[in-house]
Structures are given as structure tokens and as C-alpha cells.
Amino acid sequence: MAKVKFEDLLVTGAHYGHVTRKWHPSYKPFILMEKNGVHIINLEETLRFLDKALDYIETKTKNNAEFLFVGTKKQAKDIVQQEADRCSMFYVVERWLGGTLTNFSTIKKSIKRLNLLEKEGSQIYENQTKKEIQMLNREKIKLSDQHRGIKDMRRLPDAVIIVDAKLESTAVNEASRLGIPIIALIDSNSDPTNIDFPIPANDDSIRTIQLIMTTIADTILDSRTDKKTEQSNSNIDAKKDNKEKSEKIEVSKRLDKESTAENENKEKPAQEVTEDK
């Protein structure tokens, strides 16, 4: 599993919170001190909660879990998309559409419509005027921007990974309502009580977002590799067991044949003696 050091967080500025007047009272356990009107986040707590989140991600990944990365703020969207693509997970980096989780059946219909519009030689373009084709192309571009990160998502994710829980409050509420675990990067202005795996850190720092998202993606990739290794080892062990079993069966068959031949050889002299008498 990927590990983050205290110094790594310190260098990225992960300890800087918001100005004190913007803080959320429930965030108090994660605050180390106040300096120049700004809250300083306790990075030891950040490491502890990050390790908890990574352990959970590692366990779920080995069970073929699917994660949805969410980060629509300017500092996060490129990083979130890049890391989600790298570990082959789904993402939302444009505006969060209300009902993406709670009304997923409608979202799937919209994705189906997008697939139809993107299909080459689709019947939907036949017998259409130039203006109607332009309107269909505009619809395709709009749907493509909205659903580009979840186009292949066939079911609800097993967990949601969010950058800035306050900004993505709609996503947090939908996931909470459906009982989907939430892993979120939260700053001092966020409420950590409705987050299953909060990671207290500066959610406005590009370097902090990059560090934590990269670590999460690395954990997912490493867990998949470990799972494949375990499966290949178990397959090798199974082959060895089967080979040993087959060898034992062959040996037992050979011994049975030899004992049968010995018995026949013993019976032949006895028959000759009876015939002489």
C-alpha cells in the first residue's frame, strides 16, 4: 500500500486551513492551533485518517469494488480525472447533476441516449434536415461533457471519493441517503460528521490534492496487482496439488498391477502341483 510521510504533507501546505471565522465547530478535533487568523490542521490526524481510508480502499479493491471520484473545483478537476483514468475508475469533474446517484435509472437512460448519438451510422441521423442534425450534435456534445466520466458505469459505486465535501454537498447527501461510504478531503470549513472516512487537509492546495489523489490511485493499482499475484499463486498451488494427486493415483495403480501379477504367479505353481497329483 502507498504510504504518505508527514514531511510530504508539510511540503504541500496540507496544514493550512481556512480563516478562523469560516471554521466549522465539528472540525475542532482536527485543528492543532490558530496562527495569524488561520487554523492550522493537525497533520498527525491527517496521516491517521488517511491510513484508515487507504486500508478501506485496499480491502474493497480486492473485492472488485468500483469507486467514483468527484472533484468539480478548478484546482481539482484535472487531477481527479487524471488519477481516476490511471486506476480505471469513474469520475465527475463537471457540474454534479442532481440525482446522479439517487436517480441513477434516469442517468442510465441519458447515457444510453449518448451512446446512440455517438454510434456511427446510427438510424437517428437518417432523414434529418441539416438543422436537426446540428441540434443532435449539440445534444451529443452536452451529454458527452456531462457523462464522460461515468459513461461506462453500469451500477452504483461501492464508495465515493470526494475533493472538498462542502462544495460537493449534493454528492455527499446523495451518497449518505443511499448508504454509500464517503471518503472525502475536508478543510476546516467542512462538517466531518457525515463523512465515513474524512481526510483533514487543505482542499484548496493543488499539490495537496495531487498528493492524496495519487496515493489513493496507487493504492487501488497496488491492491489489484496483489490480488492478481495471490490468484496466480493459488492457481499454481492448485496445479501442484492436482499433479501430486495424479502421481499418487498412478503409483497406486502401478502397485495394484504389480500385486495382481504376483498373486497370479503364486497361483500358477499351485495349479501345476494339483495337476501332477
pLDDT tens per residue, range 209-267: 999 999 999 999 999 887 667 665 555 655 666 666 766 677 667 767 776 666 666 56
Q: What is the pLDDT of residue 273?
A: 47
Q: What is the pLDDT of residue 140?
A: 87
| Residue (of 140, 151, 180, 143) closest to 91 by Cα position | 151
The residue that leads in pLDDT, 90 or 132, is 90
Q: Does the pTM of the predicted model rise above 0.95?
A: no
**What is the average per-residue pLDDT within 54-78?**
93
Q: What is the pLDDT of residue 231?
A: 61
The structural domains of the chain, ordered by start, are: 6-98+156-229 (3.40.50.10490), 102-146 (no CATH)
What is the rounded distance in angstroms from the CA atom of residue 204 to the CA atom of residue 18? 10
- Provide the sign of the torsion angle of the four alpha carbons 79, 82, 87, 91, taken in this order: positive
The pLDDT confidence band at residue 24, using thresholds 50, 70 and 90, is very high
The pLDDT confidence band at residue 81, using thresholds 50, 70 and 90, is very high
The angle that helices 206-276 and 77-86 make with each other, rounded to 10 degrees, is 10
pLDDT averaged over the chain? 86
Number of C-beta neighbours around residue 139 at 10 A: 13
Q: What is the pLDDT of residue 13?
A: 92
What is the rounded distance in angstroms from the CA atom of residue 106 to the CA atom of residue 150? 13
Cβ-contact 35, 2 below 8 angstroms: no
Q: What is the pLDDT of residue 277?
A: 45
What is the rounded distance in angstroms from the CA atom of residue 145 to the CA atom of residue 202? 28
Which range has the worst mean pLDDT, 20-29, 85-94, 259-268? 259-268
pLDDT tens per residue, range 126-162: 778 888 888 988 988 888 888 889 988 999 999 999 9
Q: What is the pLDDT of residue 222?
A: 92
End-to-end Cα spacing for the chain: 86
What's the distance, CA 263 to chain centroid? 66
What is the rounded distance in angstroms from the CA atom of residue 199 to the CA atom of residue 178? 21
Q: What is the pLDDT of residue 199?
A: 95
- Provide the sign of the torsion angle of the four alpha carbons 143, 148, 151, 157, taken in this order: negative
| Residue (of 190, 132, 183) closest to 160 by Cα position | 183
What is the rounded distance in angstroms from the CA atom of residue 193 to the CA atom of residue 186? 11
**What amino acid occupies position 36?**
N
